[in-house]
């Protein structure tokens, strides 16, 4: 998907700029301690998550945004599909209509959840349809915002604070927003 390549480039550039890993202080007033690594049910990830990138169509009356449709397949795993949402406005406002899903992106098996204040971070392994695997972190800075990050072995984000610090510098357009 076009947005996935963009996300990887932005994440790589942010890491080169020093925004990844290492923990340390974010300079914020959030003094909440990190809560354990026990996996929480992935039900909170289910649903339709609309991209922060909106594209006006050539008619300049309608618009479209990418969407991830997440379905829980077990307490620890999800199926990940993509498609688009079409809006009858030029700025992706209003209800929008889910178009046919165009891609089965694969599945994610989550192994742990970290909590820092109101932020939740699900760590796991993404398996695309080609069978290769890669570590991922699905960050929920709010219940309505999802930022999906690729990781590495060993992790670039060893603590919940290091994930939060990174998510805090992401552009809003890189993340996905829960569709009501």
The reply to whether 27 falls in a domain is no
The reply to whether 23 falls in a domain is no
What is the per-residue pLDDT across 141-171, written as a single tens digit (0 to 9) for each?
Answer: 999 999 999 999 889 999 999 999 999 998 8
**Alpha carbon distance 79, 97 (integer Å):** 21
The reply to whether 21 falls in a domain is no
Given a cut of 80, is residue 46 above it in pLDDT?
A: yes
The reply to whether 30 falls in a domain is no
Contact 114, 160 (CB under 8 A): yes
What is the average pLDDT across 107-134? 94
**Look-up: residue for tokens 């992935």?**
42
Going by pLDDT thresholds of 50, 70 and 90, the confidence category of residue 38 is confident
Q: Looking at residue 9, what is its pLDDT?
A: 37
Q: Looking at residue 137, what is its pLDDT?
A: 96
Domain coverage including residue 110? 2-16+38-178
Three-state SS annotation for 129-176 = CCCCCEEEEEEEEECCEEEEEECCCCCCCCCHHHHHHHHHHCCHHHCE
The reply to whether 24 falls in a domain is no
Contact 136, 7 (CB under 8 A): no
Question: What global pTM score does this model have?
Answer: 0.78
110 or 37: which carries more pLDDT confidence? 110
Q: Report residue 147 CA to chain centroid gap.
A: 3
In the chain, how many domains are there? Answer: 1
**Alpha carbon distance 60, 28 (integer Å):** 41
């Amino acid at each position: 998907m076009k947005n996935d390549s963009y996300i990887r480039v932005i994440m790589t550039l942010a890491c080169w700029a020093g925004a990844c890993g290492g923990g340390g202080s974010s300079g914020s007033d959030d003094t909440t301690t990190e809560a354990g690594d026990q996996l929480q049910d992935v039900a909170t990830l289910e649903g339709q998550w609309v991209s922060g990138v909106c594209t006006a169509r050539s008619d300049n009356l309608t618009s479209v945004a990418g969407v991830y449709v997440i379905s829980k397949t077990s307490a620890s795993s999800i199926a990940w599909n993509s498609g688009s949402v079409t809006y009858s406005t030029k700025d992706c406002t209003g209800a929008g209509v889910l178009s046919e899903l165009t891609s089965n992106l694969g599945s994610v098996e989550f192994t742990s959840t970290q909590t820092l204040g109101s932020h939740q971070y699900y760590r796991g392994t993404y398996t695309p349809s080609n069978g290769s695997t890669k570590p991922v972190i699905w960050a929920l800075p709010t219940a309505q915002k999802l930022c999906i990050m690729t990781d590495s072995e060993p992790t670039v984000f060893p603590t919940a604070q290091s994930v939060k610090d990174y998510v805090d510098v992401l552009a809003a357009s890189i993340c996905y927003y829960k569709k009501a």
